[in-house]
Amino acid sequence: MTNQLSRRTLLKVGASGTALAAIGGCASMSGGTPLGPVVVVGGGYGGATAAKDLRMWAEGRIQVTLVEPNRSFVSCPMSNLVLGGSRSIDQITVPYSGLEKNHGVKLVHDMVVAIDAAKREVRLAGGGTLGYDRLVVSPGIEFMYEGIAGMNAAAQQQVLHAWKAGPQTVALRRQLEAMPDGGTVLISMPLAPYRCPPGPYERACQIAWYLKTAKPKSKLLLLDANPDITSKKPLFSRAFGEDYKGIVEYRTAAVVNEVDAGGKSFKTEFGDVIKGDVLNFIPPMRAANIARDAGLITANNRWCGVDWVTLESTAVKNVHVLGDATLSAPAMPKSGHMANQHGKAAAAAIVELMSGRTPSPPMMANTCYSYIDDKNAVHVSSVHRWVPDKKTIEPVQGSGGISTQDRASWALEGNYAWGWAQTIWADMLV
């Protein structure tokens, strides 16, 4: 088959404008022998991107089925703005139908409950199986409540995480709206690694902005299990110290291991009991259940090891794992932008492997914006490349960085941040 294909190499360009992965010959593949099928589990940042790019880059020759329970994608990036009140949940929701209409991805709204790697098939909760040549698994994260006293199923309905965007985002916003002026919001965040390093600090800013503008006598206490701010430290320190002085209190090394949902309090491992009016508990995390049940987890009972050239699991052949579920390469954040890059790298590798060629190591880039209030945002960015002798992906020295302290640029970045969201949603889903 390789001989029938032109050896022309295309460079695909990602949401960030970064060249990502070299694909040999796919421009001349249309009309050739069908390849696949590929099944994609999970239509988030990783899975939706992989499904669309597999269809585009193989020019329709790979039959792609995306299994995702939700009818619409709701974005975690920008969901903190819904808590702050400057955006609505509708503004961060995109239907999945574009993938089917524009790209011929077959959509199955269901859950995958089992993966049989020997038979190369997945079993669906609604009954039936789907066979695959290669499987892409991008199921995101699950929360580790088992070490947290008091967080039984009933408590989880009251003390929300809102760390998967959707109904909990709206419910937490309602709790904030119902809180009287003069109340206290408590946020507990876990030790790294967790989904979205700057996310909890952005959330503190967004809720503090709401309190400052609507309930100025109120306070917010951020209990960070880490020894220090884990991302964009000089920028968040300034926001907490200047914009939200007298509203935000930030405490380090505060590991919460007990929650009293009825009494509305957190207890730290040092025995301090802290009472609040609205409690937001962001638990420790691991790869989602389907990754665990399929034997894809390889590190600390939490994350899935992959080959960073193909994103193929190091534990199960022909299964590619993407996004937050992966055991991150050095200094690689668990972010939507990075999951989108994983989706492109895996799609490129699968097209190559199915065409009998050797995949090229990918480049990956990340940009993560955080809104300080309703208009101003700051960023962190990085570029990551394959290091052959270490067989991993590492940040390129001197690449990326964080925003300057120039406040005028933060206003400009507020526009860039919303533009980033529109662009990446279109890249994944339209």
Q: Which spans of this chain sit near ligand FAD (rule: CB under 6 A)?
A: 41-47, 67-70, 76-77, 79-80, 111-112, 138-140, 163, 195-196, 199, 203, 288, 290, 323-325, 334-337, 339, 368-369
Here the tokens at position 216 are 């100025």
Q: Closest approach of Cβ 28 to ligand FAD, in Å?
A: 31
Question: How far apart, in whole angstroms, are the C-alpha atoms of residue 182 and residue 184?
Answer: 7
Q: Closest approach of Cβ 136 to ligand FAD, in Å?
A: 10
Residues facing 10 on adjacent strands: 23
Asked if 347 and 311 touch (Cβ cutoff 8 Å), the reply is: no
- In the Cβ-directed half-sphere of 383, how many Cα atoms lie within 13 Å? 12
Question: Which residue, 80 or 175, is less far from ligand FAD as judged by CB?
Answer: 80
DSSP 3-state of 185? strand
Question: Which residue, 26 or 287, is less far from ligand FAD as judged by CB?
Answer: 287
Residue 157 CB contacts under 8 Å (≥ 6 apart), including other chains: none
Q: Closest approach of Cβ 336 to ligand FAD, in Å?
A: 3
Question: Which residue, 44 or 84, is less far from ligand FAD as judged by CB?
Answer: 44
Question: How far apart, in whole angstroms, are the C-alpha atoms of residue 189 and residue 180?
Answer: 24
Q: Closest approach of Cβ 144 to ligand FAD, in Å?
A: 15
Q: Closest approach of Cβ 253 to ligand FAD, in Å?
A: 22
Residue 305 CB contacts under 8 Å (≥ 6 apart), including other chains: 298, 299, 313, 314, 315, 326, 327
Q: Closest approach of Cβ 31 to ligand FAD, in Å?
A: 32
Question: How far apart, in whole angstroms, are the C-alpha atoms of residue 366 and residue 364?
Answer: 7
Question: How far apart, in whole angstroms, are the C-alpha atoms of residue 205 and residue 371?
Answer: 8
Q: Closest approach of Cβ 327 to ligand FAD, in Å?
A: 13
Q: What's the residue count for the chain?
A: 430
Q: Closest approach of Cβ 137 to ligand FAD, in Å?
A: 8
Q: Closest approach of Cβ 335 to ligand FAD, in Å?
A: 3
Question: Which residue, 47 or 190, is less far from ligand FAD as judged by CB?
Answer: 47
Q: What are the distances in angstroms from CA 62 to CA 34, 57, 349?
A: 6, 9, 13
Question: Which residue, 34 or 330, is less far from ligand FAD as judged by CB?
Answer: 330
The CB-based long-range contact list for 142-147 (8 Å cut-off, 24+ gap) reads 142/285, 142/286, 142/287, 142/288, 142/289, 142/292, 143/283, 143/284, 143/285, 144/283, 144/284, 144/285, 144/286, 144/302, 145/283, 147/257, 147/284
Question: How far apart, in whole angstroms, are the C-alpha atoms of residue 42 and residue 63?
Answer: 16
Question: Which residue, 29 or 66, is less far from ligand FAD as judged by CB?
Answer: 66
Question: Which residue, 266 or 303, is less far from ligand FAD as judged by CB?
Answer: 303
Question: Which residue, 124 or 396, is less far from ligand FAD as judged by CB?
Answer: 124
Q: Which residue is nearest to ligand FAD (CB)?
A: 44
Question: Which residue, 26 or 151, is less far from ligand FAD as judged by CB?
Answer: 151
DSSP 3-state of 11? strand
DSSP class of residue 362 equals: P
